[in-house]
Structure 1
Amino acid sequence: MYTHGRKQDCRITLDYTYKGMRVAFLENNLMRIGILIDKGGDIFEITYKPKDIDFLWQSPIAMRPPFTSTNALAEGAYHDYYYGGWQEILPSAGWSSEPYKGTYQGLHGEVSLLPVSAQIITDTPELVTLKTEVTLYRSPLKLEKHLSLKKDTATLFIKEKLTNTSPHDFEIMWGHHPVVGEPFLDTSCTVQAPAKKIEVMAYHPNGLWTTDKEFDFPHAQNRRTGQMQDVTKILGKESKSVDVLFFKELQEGWYGINNHNLNLGLGMAWDHNLFKYLWMWQVYQGHDDYPWYGRTYNLGLEPFTSYPPAGIDTAIKNGSSLKMKPHQIIETNLVTTAYEATHIKKITLDGVVHL
């Protein structure tokens, strides 16, 4: 990829643009990670080289620099720019018509729409690290991230530091929004997560699962058949369904998505005392209105502090919002890793996949 510098082991560069926007690449012999500097520090590529698979979903909406649409939406611009990939969601998730502390956050908050600063911290054959930083406009928050790849590992290490820059409490919803798609996603895929309960959000008329009641993980009631069904077995496009489910009472912070046809998995690990809920966004070609119009087949598994995606005011009311104290700093670590297996025991924050 690069015209100068190392051709083997760990590599990192800020020398490129893509679709008119600045990007960073972190790479080793197993993984290539693409980061969109001019839009939220999004992760737009996670490629596992041995099988030439980019796990992340690509939506029918093109990746593009900021533009002027026909009319501003009340929900904000998130969907107009949502090309797929992995966004950080902060300081609110979902959309609410209610303001918080005098302003509106729109759908999924600010971070994913803001450019970030980027700096190469470490650049050696054994380790590469990129630092990104962004200060929000409508919220008194600053987010710093260190993203690292190590030699001979298929794991991206993420270290985050979130600061409340104000002398007052500030309540937030904070989460990660990675979404996988074809060719990785198919009906041979299964999901593993150490949850005890499932709740289904009343989200869309084409929802498959019975809403607004709790079920014992991993089953929920299919509202079309009335039967209990394992929600962790991925369904096909013929389902024509779309749902948002919440995995609750997590015993540990990890999940794995396992493709049995490819003998390939993608997983995450995180601090489940901070990100207490795992959202599962199932789109089996059932989202037939804006912005997807029935064109999409994808799966999001998203660690979050709070639920549901209905704005910070809803999370405050149900007691799941995260209240940051004056000048509080929160530091946390996450990893995402690829592995060749169809069943795992767990993933730990050191990036180890236990088989």
Structure 2
Amino acid sequence: MNGYYRPQRNWGVRTKHVIWHGLDVLTLENEQLRVSFAVGRGADVVEFLHKTSDTDFVWLSANGLRHPALRAVTPPDARMAFYDSYPGGWQEVFPVGGAPSAGPGLPFGSHGFHGEVWHRPWDWRVVEDAPSAVQLELSIRTETLPYRLIRNVRLETGSSSLLFEEVAINESDVDLPLMWGHHITFGRPFLGPGSVIEMPRSVEIVTGDISRTHPQRRLAANRVMPWHDAVDAGGRAVDMSRLPVVGTPGEMSYLRGFREGHYLVRDSRGLGLEIAWDAAVMPYVWCWQEFGAMRDYPWFGRHYNIGLEPFTSIPREGLAAAIENGTASRLAGGARKAFVLRATVGCL
């Protein structure tokens, strides 16, 4: 149910197909929310607006959302290709995550930084279209590894919650590795110093080598520590639950120990976005923080944002490292892997 003659409605739960900065965008809307997906580029969530408070939980980078044809010439370096076109927002990372690396039967770097679905157009169709509920199906086939990814998103009347129901399908008869994640970011104007991140008490922080992440950072390197009792290199306490002042060094670490996938990010008003997901499929959260301390490429001190990204695997060094440490997921030939995530706005 697509195209010019699909019934239109400007009340109840509804969907629109619009052109935004030269890109095809689908918008879902009800009394509480307006959520927009850039299906012309990665099916990124580029708007998650809580209408009654006029708060958009999507952070957009300084470069923002643009059609790829309007970008500068893409450099051959895969990391730069991602950074130069990074709009902020919320991407799906699939079928690999992090830095380019070798893979099964693939030369080094052939799958690019954070996989391939973030920069390509997705297919879409309207599965259900009623005043009480709208459901969209968004899908894409990958090229470097033979996967199909299908994402169903559903919004119901009166709800402040958006449901994602997804399935990854191995379309070959070969057993394949998989890194899969949701690159969810938060930033201004919603986020700022004093904003709070709530995590389950069971969560631990895993930090790596400083040289592999940020040249400056807050946390002690190569450590495992409780989320609520983190320390820096000098043993001083670091409160990871409360965001610091502008100019504080950034961080790249990993969270684990989720008995149930759940976290909440809220501002000084108590308004927050809760992310709940199937932690059996994605047992890790990549924790990226940038508070304006990085004065050179690619951020140049312009950003104050965090990423809290449910993931199947670690680390950000890519597929080869995840296979080596045993966290890479695997999907047998012809097999399917389902995943569910829900994003809910709430006032505390």
TM-score normalised by the chain length of structure 1: 0.90
Return 5+ residue gaps in structure 2 as ranges.
1-6
Q: Is the 8 A contact 1:198 1:218 kept in 2?
A: no
Q: Which runs of 4+ in 1 moved over 4 A?
A: none
User: Which letter maps to 2:113?
Assistant: L
Cα offset for 1:9? 1.8
Distance verdict in 2 for CA 1:335–1:102, change over 3 Å? same
Return 5+ residue gaps in structure 1 as ranges.
342-355
Q: Is 1:107 aligned to residue 113 of structure 2?
A: yes
Q: Deviations over 1:201-228 (max 9, x none)?
A: 33111211111110122222123x5302
Cα root mean square deviation, aligned: 1.5
Match of 1:258 in 2: 266
Mapped to 2, the partners of 1:121 and 1:213 lie a distance apart of 47
Name the SS for the 2:290 alignment partner.
strand
Q: Deviations over 1:263-284 (max 9, x none)?
A: 2010111111110011211111
Q: Deviations over 1:157-210 (max 9, x none)?
A: 111011001111110110001101111101231111223311123311121111
The total of aligned residue pairs comes to 334
Q: Deviations over 1:207-253 (max 9, x none)?
A: 11111110122222123x530222111112131x1111211111211
Match of 1:98 in 2: 102
- Of 67, 71, 75, the match for 2:75: 71
Match of 1:227 in 2: 236
Mapped to 1, the partners of 2:294 and 2:281 lie a distance apart of 30
User: Which letter maps to 1:13?
Assistant: K
Name the SS for the 2:324 alignment partner.
helix
Distance verdict in 2 for CA 1:76–1:98, change over 3 Å? farther
- Of 142, 156, 161, the match for 2:162: 156
User: Which letter maps to 2:319?
Assistant: I
Match of 1:249 in 2: 257
Match of 2:91 in 1: 87
User: Which letter maps to 2:182?
Assistant: H
Cα offset for 1:70? 5.9
Q: Is the 8 A contact 2:275 2:344 kept in 1?
A: yes
Match of 1:344 in 2: none
Q: Is 1:13 aligned to residue 21 of structure 2?
A: no
Q: Is the 8 A contact 1:200 1:243 kept in 2?
A: no
Name the SS for the 1:112 alignment partner.
helix
Mapped to 1, the partners of 2:78 and 2:60 lie a distance apart of 25
- Of 198, 201, 206, the match for 2:216: 206
Mapped to 2, the partners of 1:263 and 1:110 lie a distance apart of 36
Match of 1:197 in 2: 204
Distance verdict in 2 for CA 1:146–1:198, change over 3 Å? same
User: Which letter maps to 1:12?
Assistant: T
Cα offset for 1:286? 2.0
Distance verdict in 2 for CA 1:64–1:100, change over 3 Å? farther
Cα offset for 1:88? 0.3
Mapped to 2, the partners of 1:145 and 1:314 lie a distance apart of 27
- Of 307, 312, 315, the match for 1:305: 312
Q: Is the 8 A contact 1:93 1:174 kept in 2?
A: yes
Mapped to 2, the partners of 1:235 and 1:76 lie a distance apart of 28
Cα offset for 1:74? 4.0
Mapped to 1, the partners of 2:61 and 2:203 lie a distance apart of 31
Cα offset for 1:289? 2.6
Matches within 5 A, 1:1-355: 5-14=8-17, 16-67=18-69, 69=73, 71-75=75-79, 77-103=81-107, 104-194=110-200, 195-201=202-208, 202=210, 203-223=213-233, 226-239=235-248, 241-259=249-267, 261-341=268-348
Mapped to 1, the partners of 2:96 and 2:156 lie a distance apart of 32
Mapped to 2, the partners of 1:314 and 1:323 lie a distance apart of 14
Distance verdict in 2 for CA 1:150–1:167, change over 3 Å? same
